[in-house]
Structure 1
Amino acid sequence: MRGDTCGKARRPDNGKIATRQSGTILQHETAPMPTRYLPHCLAVLLLSACASASAQQTPHAKAPGSRLATAEVQTLLHEHNRARAAVGVAPLQWSAPVAKTAQRWADHLATSSCRMQHSRGSGYGENLFIGTAGHYGVKDAALAWEQEKRLYRGGVLKVGKTQGIGHYTQMVWRDTRRLGCARSQCSNRVIVVCNYEPAGNYLGKAPY
């Protein structure tokens, strides 16, 4: 069973990094797009049948803008703002309009064979995650993105130097103020989409 995550930054670049950690294989791939965005894709191959301890349960209360439960929204805000506080940037606020856009794209991906593909033209920053349903939840998505911190060496983003860090740098981008996320499902996989306003990951600028 496999899961995937993606995030987008601002200029085309190619590359792949593969690492092995605690029984999982992580592959980080970047590929060019004909726009100013650079999609970052992280594939996670689950090698055991153990469910993730942080997989999210879904209470009945729903958050504005998406089908996420309010508890899931709180989890996503907590994980993002914890990462942001660690580098001294202001917390994000939930945005129903941003979440609505994220939900629309999550639903599109769910009806497109769960292909990892970024939206175009929304103007938002975007992180994507796909994982095995029942094994991964929204907290796993946020933690997977934050783990890229270990590869970020500080300073401005440069051409050819964004591999493996784009999800994290968007999470902590200083000028980003609003977060909207969504979840959908296709077959046995769950999709998490988070959008960020204003978008970050501009080449030539530092995240914070």
Structure 2
Amino acid sequence: IIKFGTMKFVLLIWLATIIKCNEGKRWKDCYPRSCKGERHTLCEYQEFQRGPECNSVITNIVTDEEKQEILDTHNTLRSKVARGLETRGSPGPQPGGVLKALKWDKMLARIAQTWANQCLLMHDPCRDVKRFSVGQNVGYTGNKTRFFDKLSVLITNWYDEVVDFPNYMVKNYQSTEFPVIGHYTAIVWGNTTKVGCGLVRHFTKSSMYRTHLVCNYGPRGNWVDDPVYQTNNE
């Protein structure tokens, strides 16, 4: 009995040590220095935890086909700008420049899906990873009759903010509350090389068919006073 009790006591100490170490690791991961004291999304929510705004979820998985659609749409739009084919702007046209093709990032997608599962039309406070700071676009479509399947249209809606983007700001980005241009610049930021997105299709409390999309970008863009991308004239 004494031996059993001793073994049990030692086991409890061992488990307590492991828990303490894990808590130390979680603290570091949950509060990255770059997030300035904000709690990380993966620590704030369980990966498959749905928020109270997520009523009647039909699907919250990005399929391989949708993943390819997301990548193709982003890279088609980036290529258009890189080749100097975007004529819109305030003023336009947008100068051609150096924009590499984006690649899918599983960790960015995991964080994006965790946030998408909350069905909130806002940015999460902290989503950075050890490799880099992470930017984000959030949006949704909804109607009374059916789910909107074309994610490319939603992404293009973000991009269409280019109509209000002044071409001279490519060399020196400035944040503006109105007009909104940050979704466009997040998509075409030159130093961004990775994207990962999360998706929820659900019925809202007002019986709307809603498609909710969150895309995370790394390294993040929209740095004030930095160039959006390197132009061909540089």
TM-score scaled by length of structure 1 = 0.62
Partner of 1:100: 110
Partner of 1:67: 61
1:153 aligns with 2:166: yes
- How far, CA to CA, are the matches of 1:160 and 1:193 in structure 2? 21
1:178 aligns with 2:194: yes
Query: SS of 1:87's equivalent?
Result: helix
More strand by share: 1
Partner of 2:155: 142
- How far, CA to CA, are the matches of 1:142 and 1:87 in structure 2? 15
Consecutive unaligned residues of structure 2, counting only runs of 5 or more, are: 1-35, 37-59, 83-98, 129-133, 204-208, 230-234
- How far, CA to CA, are the matches of 1:175 and 1:159 in structure 2? 17
Partner of 1:118: 123
**1:7-22 alignment, distance < 5 Å:** none
> Which of residues 175, 185, 194 is equivalent to 2:215?
194
Tell me if the contact between 1:137 and 1:190 (Cα under 8 Å) persists in the aligned partners: no
Consecutive unaligned residues of structure 1, counting only runs of 5 or more, are: 1-34, 36-65, 110-114
- Stretches of 4+ aligned residues off by more than 6 angstroms: none
1:78 aligns with 2:99: no
- How far, CA to CA, are the matches of 2:141 and 2:177 in structure 1? 26
- How far, CA to CA, are the matches of 2:166 and 2:193 in structure 1? 23
Partner of 1:131: 141
- How far, CA to CA, are the matches of 1:98 and 1:190 in structure 2? 19
Q: How many residues align?
A: 139
- How far, CA to CA, are the matches of 1:203 and 1:194 in structure 2? 21
Tell me if the contact between 2:148 and 2:211 (Cα under 8 Å) persists in the aligned partners: no
Deviations 1:139-165 (A, max 9, x none): 121110111112111222224376321
Instruction: Sort the Cα spacing of 1:144 and 1:176 in 2 relative to 1 into closer, same or farther, 3 A.
Output: same
Deviations 1:84-109 (A, max 9, x none): 11232100000111100000000022
Instruction: Answer with 1 or 2: which has the greater Rg.
Output: 2
- How far, CA to CA, are the matches of 1:189 and 1:176 in structure 2? 29
Tell me if the contact between 2:175 and 2:222 (Cα under 8 Å) persists in the aligned partners: no
More helix by share: 2
> Which of residues 76, 82, 90 is equivalent to 2:100?
90
- How far, CA to CA, are the matches of 1:116 and 1:161 in structure 2? 16
Percent of pairs identical after alignment? 27
| Matched residue type, 1:81 | N
Alignment root-mean-square deviation, CA: 1.9
